[in-house]
Chain A
Amino acid sequence: MFIKLLLTIVFAGIANSAFATLNIQHWQAPSGAQVYFVENHDLPMLDIAVDFAAGSAFDDAAKPGVAELTNGLLDSGVEGLSEDDIGRKLADIGAQKGQHVDTDRSGLSLRTLSSSVERDTALDILARIIQHPLFPEEILSREKARTISALKEAETKPESIASKAFSKAVFGSHPYGASLEVADVEKIQRVDLLNFYNSHFNAKNAVVALMGDVTRSQAEGIAQQLTGSLPLDGASNRIAPVNLQIQASEQRISHPATQSHILIGTPGIARNDPDYFPLYVGNYILGGGGFVSRLMNEIREKRGMAYSVYSYFMPMQQPGAFQIGLQTKKEQSDEALKLARATLQEFVDKGVTEKELKAAKDNIIGGFPLRIDSNKKIVEYLSVIGFYELPLTYLDDFVSKVEKVTTAQIHDAFKRRIHPEAMATVIVGVQEEKAEDKK
């Protein structure tokens, strides 16, 4: 889920007039679902993604884990088709199904050949999974057991421990900070899944994205086929606001690993934030730009202290995290932490140079064509544009918005939004004598 989100950001970009732009068609299906479509017949295949405002942030605070299990069990059986039938029939035609859930979105994706036998079979199954899941009791208990196993395993992994503590420290009791415990999973009942499904999987909450080898009229039929039996309306698709100001905190958690996993951060930005572009371009310079960022330069290139060091904003419906992360051997974790903090402090205090800004723009703008060079990337964009209600011209405008960003805007936006003196820090894997669980 984490990876998925990062990709969304990495590919969040777009079109210069110099490059061909996408012809995105948009309409509302009779069902009420929003549909986004790019017609392309280069390859005999079709990619589809259907997303609902039904991510983990929509869980009842007393019942975490329901959103995730609901998504996971969509394909566990429908009237007339068992879990095994569904998997077999899709495999028989070489179709690929994906299911994904993050804090905001719960979705399914499908890749199929566009020839009619394959396409019709795959769409029939997808339509039934989305609209008529049965959530069989015995499969729920099996999947609960597997989820519990995975949770217990995660409890021993430094990266999982760090990420869980980080979310809690940054988001507190907001749903973005919620974490799943074994006891939560144990008490989930089938009726919880049914209730969650019935209130959140409705047409108004649905976005259908299609990319590939079908015509407009076929696409219209498909979108309706996938959502026509859903109830029109249900629970709200809004998530509670995030408290943007947090207090400084630092947690040191012991772990036998050879490296410390360090995370530093704070609530960042929402998808539709007016500061989105200055922060996006600025972050490229700070820690988003692969081998050429300041964090990479200070910690890896100059001193050889880490293999991986980065920073990112995760723009969600509400402000997602701004995060700096690195792993380094325990003996030098204090030094690395100091360096990361100093790099951020200087960045916020002094901003970026014109030369750095030009390099960032050159990469982001020059690399635009790579962001939309495959059906897979395009269908993902369609989902994001639809789900977050971005303008249809989002891709066309992206390059000009990046071009317009100034050093002053970056400085101003970081100063207002990122407060190095009030960040959450988590260090997992500290040397034993330094381990502390401060009360």
Chain B
Amino acid sequence: MRMRMLNKFCWLLLLASFTVQADVFEKTLSNGLKVIVKEDHRAPVLVQQVWYRAGSIDERTGKTGVAHVLEHMMFKGTKTVPAGEFSKRIAAAGGRENAFTNTDYTAYFQQLHKSKLSLAMQLESDRMQNLQLSPAEFKKEIKVIMEERRMRTDDEPHSLMEEKLMAAAYQEHPYQHPVIGWMNDLEAMTAMDAQEWYKTWYAPNNAVLVIAGDVQAKEVFALAQRYYGKIPAHKLPVRRNYTEPAQEGIKRITLKAPAQLPYLIMSYHAPTLRDAEKDSVPYALEVLAGVLDGNETARLNKSLVREQQIASEAGAGYDSTARGPGMFTLEGTPSEGKTVVELEAALREQISKLVHDGVNAEELQRVKAQVTANEVYKRDSVFYQAMQIGQMESIGLGYEAIPAMLKKIQEVTAQQVQEAAREILTDDHLIVAVLDPQPLANKPKHAAGAFHVH
């Protein structure tokens, strides 16, 4: 599994449940493992998540996809738990489990009845230190991953376009590589590559353990000490902080792929949060994304889809939280008879309006009201409450930053939004990607006469 990289308006939603952090407790074990507990006693369930601060951002050319490959291999057995057994034991306990890899982290989770925390910790702590990477299992699993790549990327024109856009947008930064890896790298990868990745990054001092649900923090800390406490820490490599060279001028790419409709993405290089208290532009950009695409009457849908009818769908997205740099993205599908050129002009007109006229108080208030309501709604999901904590920890801001972030969002002014638009949404930072659709040669036949009875 892996998460999509262009999350629309994701951070505002993620922020949700954090006005009150009273039920959050943390403790760091002597081996460096940070344990965070979010108590929520509404239902007799819990979730365990282990987040490793190792994602595709930490990979090198030629070895792309290895973070995600290791994620798959983590289900393939340890010295005492044979391949497939992890999933069987969790299933037998009534649990659901999976894992996901992103640019910035890799995370593993189990959702279970509250009585099953020991089992989950026993299994997860075991594979933190005792993974057995068998070449035979690797040989099969790498094929599964290639099928995953075909399904998610190669045969999905919009995903393929996002992949090519990132590759073209970043000259040096490792965000140029897809999380799932280039096919050629997957073909060349060996069990040794995965082993080395595991040895380098899988250590308690590079992980955060998040437990949320119907648990008592004290008991969780004691169990965490018992299962994870003895795993030795090890020295982590020094991480490079890449500074992507300034783009200095517009870039354009085109992708030909089987499709009926063209598609347009306009991505602007943008900063992400480094200091939750002092930064301001990322908050203004979050609000800007909300003004453009935070609800169905937001500017892009209202103007481009409903009024001008130049697009059959249009959107905007920005994520202020990441280990690396960010993108402010506009995208859309032209209506039939309209072209990507016309759509680009219409999107540019929206930007120009923002830069010249700014946003009004009503729009600003609407975005903030949604943030406030979402805080309440998100408390309906124990899983996402844990997810917020893990994500904030993994990217380095820390979950404690969340109340400050929420406060800063509420303080964003119309003027800040306008200034952020003026500063960030300029051609010098822009990359435009266009899908040039290649209609299928033969229209598939659906007539009943096409049946072959055997």
A contact set with B: CB distance below 8 Å: 19-20, 42-45, 83-84, 87-88, 90-96, 111-113, 118, 142, 145-146, 148-150, 152-153, 155-156, 158, 161, 164-165, 168-169, 172, 179, 247-259, 289-292, 297, 300-308, 327-329, 359, 362-370, 372-376, 428, 436-439
A-B contact pairs, 29 of them (CB 8 A): A45-B376, A83-B306, A94-B372, A113-B376, A142-B309, A145-B312, A146-B305, A149-B335, A149-B336, A152-B260, A155-B260, A155-B443, A156-B439, A161-B444, A164-B446, A179-B446, A249-B451, A257-B150, A258-B154, A290-B87, A290-B97, A291-B97, A301-B140, A303-B143, A304-B140, A367-B113, A370-B94, A375-B380, A438-B450
Contact of A251 among B148, B261, B295, B450 (CB under 8 A): B450
Q: Do residues B373 and A95 form an inter-chain contact, with CB atoms below 8 A? A: yes
Number of A-B contacts (CB under 8 A): 227
Residues of A within 8 A of B142 (CB): 304
Given contacts A153-B261, A251-B452, A436-B452, contact A91 B366 (CB under 8 A): yes
Which of B259, B260, B298: most chain A Cβ within 10 A? B260
Interface size range on B against A: 35 or more
CA distance A362 to B88 in the complex (A): 11
- Distance of A256 from chain B, by nearest CB (Å): 5
- Distance of B33 from chain A, by nearest CB (Å): 26
Q: Do residues B43 and A374 form an inter-chain contact, with CB atoms below 8 A? A: yes
Residues of A within 8 A of B88 (CB): 292, 359
CA distance A342 to B124 in the complex (A): 35
Given contacts A45-B376, A306-B144, A307-B151, contact A88 B95 (CB under 8 A): no
CA distance A428 to B445 in the complex (A): 11
Residues of B within 8 A of A93 (CB): 369, 373
- B440 in the interface, Cβ–Cβ < 8 Å? yes
CA distance A307 to B146 in the complex (A): 8
- Distance of B103 from chain A, by nearest CB (Å): 20
Residues of B within 8 A of A305 (CB): 143, 147
Known: A179-B446, A304-B142. 15 other contacts (CB 8 A): A42-B42, A43-B380, A88-B297, A145-B309, A149-B261, A149-B335, A161-B444, A291-B87, A292-B91, A304-B141, A308-B151, A362-B93, A370-B111, A373-B45, A374-B381
Q: Do residues A253 and B444 form an inter-chain contact, with CB atoms below 8 A? A: yes
Per-position 1/0 for B355-399, Cβ under 8 A of A: 000000000011001101110110111100000000000000000
Which of B94, B306, B336, B443: most chain A Cβ within 10 A? B94
Q: Do residues B261 and A152 form an inter-chain contact, with CB atoms below 8 A? A: yes
Q: Do residues B444 and A428 form an inter-chain contact, with CB atoms below 8 A? A: yes
Residues of A within 8 A of B140 (CB): 301-304
- Find the B residue at minimum CB distance from A247: B453
- Distance of A334 from chain B, by nearest CB (Å): 13
- Find the A residue at minimum CB distance from B451: A249
Q: Do residues B150 and A438 form an inter-chain contact, with CB atoms below 8 A? A: no
CA distance A113 to B451 in the complex (A): 53
Q: Do residues B144 and A168 form an inter-chain contact, with CB atoms below 8 A? A: no
Residues of A within 8 A of B294 (CB): 91
Contact of A327 among B151, B380, B448 (CB under 8 A): B151
CA distance A255 to B259 in the complex (A): 11
CA distance A369 to B382 in the complex (A): 13
CA distance A150 to B260 in the complex (A): 9
Contact of A259 among B91, B155, B441 (CB under 8 A): B155
Residues of B within 8 A of A254 (CB): 442, 444
A interface: dominant SS: mixed
CA distance A149 to B261 in the complex (A): 8
Q: Do residues B440 and A366 form an inter-chain contact, with CB atoms below 8 A? A: no
- Distance of A187 from chain B, by nearest CB (Å): 17
- Distance of A194 from chain B, by nearest CB (Å): 22
CB under 8 Å from chain A, chain B span 97-149: 97, 111-113, 139-148
Residues of A within 8 A of B97 (CB): 290-291
Residues of B within 8 A of A169 (CB): 451
CA distance A364 to B139 in the complex (A): 32
CA distance A156 to B112 in the complex (A): 40
Per-position 1/0 for B170-212, Cβ under 8 A of A: 0000000000000000000000000000000000000000000
- Distance of A375 from chain B, by nearest CB (Å): 5
CA distance A255 to B314 in the complex (A): 28
- Distance of A362 from chain B, by nearest CB (Å): 5
CA distance A168 to B381 in the complex (A): 38
Q: Do residues B94 and A156 form an inter-chain contact, with CB atoms below 8 A? A: no
CA distance A156 to B441 in the complex (A): 10
CA distance A301 to B136 in the complex (A): 12
Which of B92, B139, B451, B454: most chain A Cβ within 10 A? B451
CA distance A263 to B298 in the complex (A): 39
CA distance A372 to B380 in the complex (A): 11
Q: Do residues A149 and B43 form an inter-chain contact, with CB atoms below 8 A? A: no
Residues of B within 8 A of A145 (CB): 309, 312, 335-336
CA distance A59 to B13 in the complex (A): 37
- B75 in the interface, Cβ–Cβ < 8 Å? yes
**Shortest beta-carbon contacts, A-B, top 3:** A366-B94, A94-B373, A304-B143
Q: Do residues A369 and B44 form an inter-chain contact, with CB atoms below 8 A? A: yes
Residues of A within 8 A of B296 (CB): 87, 91
Q: Do residues A92 and B365 form an inter-chain contact, with CB atoms below 8 A? A: yes
- Distance of A419 from chain B, by nearest CB (Å): 14
Q: Do residues A156 and B260 form an inter-chain contact, with CB atoms below 8 A? A: yes
- B34 in the interface, Cβ–Cβ < 8 Å? no
